[in-house]
Amino acid sequence: MATIYAAALVSLLGWRLWRFTIWPLFHPEEPRELPYWIPCTKHFNYTKEPFSVTLLGQTLYIVTDARDAAEIYKDSKSFSRDVLVHQLYSKVGISRAAIKRLFRADPQAPYNLRNAKALDPTDEMMAIYHQHLSPGLALDSFLDRDVIPRLQAALQDCEETTASLRHVCSQAFIKGFVASYYGGIIFDIEPEFVKWYLQWEELSWKLIYGLPGFLSKDMLTAKGKLVDAFLKYFSLPPEQRGHSNFWTDSVERSLRDVDLSNEDVARVFTMQTWGFLGNAHKVAFWLVAHLVKDRSLLNSINMEVAPATRGGRRLDHRYLADECPKLDALFDEVLRLTVTSPLVRGISSTSTIGGKKLQEGKQVLVVYRQLHFDGTVWGRSPQTLQSNRFLDDKALKSNLAYRPWGGGKTLCPGRFFARKAIFAFVACLLGHYEIHVDGAKPFPRADLTKPTPGSAAVADGDDILLHLSAKSEQ
Ligand code: HEM
């Protein structure tokens, strides 16, 4: 028996020596492989060179240098999001034939007749986002007509004197955004939409990791409820939906143009809805959490935003966007601290990044957390919120190490909308209520154990209890 163990140990040591010491000596152009079975964050402190890890037999390249990340963003052909969207669509149950059509640019498709260059339906959806959410009249009227009244209504519904901040944010943003895009009828179809959406969001890691069905029943139920709701919604003739939205109508039309079935349309909308709901409620939570824990910060932001709500006028989101530098700086800092999930790209042709060859067919991860907490950019205490950081140094916003909205071709098209909606939410909350919290309670922790796109989720069980009293009308 001892001889077997000794032989196994010798082979293991020999393999490690070959794999991590001898082989890299002869291939300096290849990213060094991390010599651990479980990646260790200490490694990040030693080098900013791209390196690789092997997980379950798959090689994954890791990039932690802001300049290398910028190179990846620049080359959207070699580093493509499509490979991953393709995988996600397939995992979520979209038929193979439909996936093929979603990535094929058909110049004859009716929606392409108005495009200078033929787009596939996936890029067309992104182009529609840009038309709908770029600064201008369309975005302003979407906010004035659809979004802000719903955020205000959600806040006025807080009749209780104590409320969970998590609950307030998720109800306002998820209910508000969903109704803005699909109308209230979606809640007639599925009254528990918000509950199922939150369950899906919490458990979506099971789909990403490909857990088998018997370990994912809860996630599959939540996903099924959302798909069913959209199936019923998109089976209704548009005139019976009682609501219209430019993005929803245009995306549906482009999917119908390439003959997607109702079932596939429902699954595409389930994924897109996750995309536009996934971050705002969490970022709003983190922002308000920092505000209510620091009385002097709360007072100063309160004074800054008050003119936007004063005198019973319609909430002025232009004022909030243009005249509130302290809120703007706090928002940027909260994004820096909380948007820490990595960017993932599929490599479609072998390319050199940071002097290292990244091979076609593999995946590369840009670790935002590493960029956002890099002491050489953010100073001695990058983990601590500094509400004036972005006010004191205006150049930080465009630093290559600051990537809350991603970059390159896939830079978040919802960034202007998200900023304005979150500012409006904060101004309504502060305008409507005096807020107190129990200062002795610990600050909520972020859940960094599961993959969540964008902003970190709040750890299970953590929250802030708000004590609210309505302010008298000014
Ligand atoms: C504070 C809230 C938000 C944050 C922090 C955020 C963050 C991000 C990030 C980091 C990416 C890049 C992902 C990548 O390149 O792989 C992204 C992409 C995207 N975001 Fe956002 N986002 C937010 C809100 C929104 C909203 C409200 C919408 C839509 C209404 C939206 C729509 C999208 C879309 C469609 C993409 C994909 C772009 C593409 O692949 O071309 N986001 N977002």
Encode pLDDT of 88-118 as tens digits. 999 999 999 999 999 999 999 999 998 999 9
**Which residue ranges have their beta carbon within 6 Å of ligand 1?**
81, 126, 129, 133, 275-276, 279-280, 283, 335, 339, 343, 404-406, 410, 412-414, 417-418, 454-455
349 pLDDT exceeds 60? yes
pLDDT of residue 265: 98
297, two tokens: 């910060």
Mean pLDDT along residues 238-261: 97
Summarised one tens digit per residue, pLDDT across range 407-425 is 999 999 999 999 999 999 9
Q: How remote is the CA of residue 11 from the centroid of ligand 1, in Å?
A: 47
Q: What is the per-residue pLDDT across 22-79, written as a single tens digit (0 to 9) for each?
A: 656 666 677 777 665 544 455 555 568 898 888 767 788 999 999 999 999 999 999 9
What does the pLDDT look like over 362-405, one tens digit per residue?
999 998 888 999 999 999 999 999 999 999 999 999 999 999 99
Q: Per-residue pLDDT tens for 70-89?
A: 999 999 999 988 888 999 99
Ligand 1 pocket test, pick from 412, 419, 420, 423 with the greatest ligand atom count within 8 Å of Cβ, gives 412
* 170 pLDDT above the threshold of 90: yes
Q: How confident is the model at residue 314 (pLDDT cuts 50, 70, 90)?
A: confident
Which amino acid is residue 340, in one-letter code? T
One-letter amino acid at 257 equals D
d(CA 121, CA 110): 11
Query: DSSP code of 381?
Result: -
Q: 465-470 and 433-436 as β-strands: parallel, antiparallel, unpaired?
A: antiparallel
**DSSP H or E run through 33:** strand 32-33
Helix (H) or strand (E) holding 16: helix 2-17
Give the pLDDT mean for 295-311.
93
Query: Average pLDDT, whole number, for the chain?
Result: 90
pLDDT at 441: 87
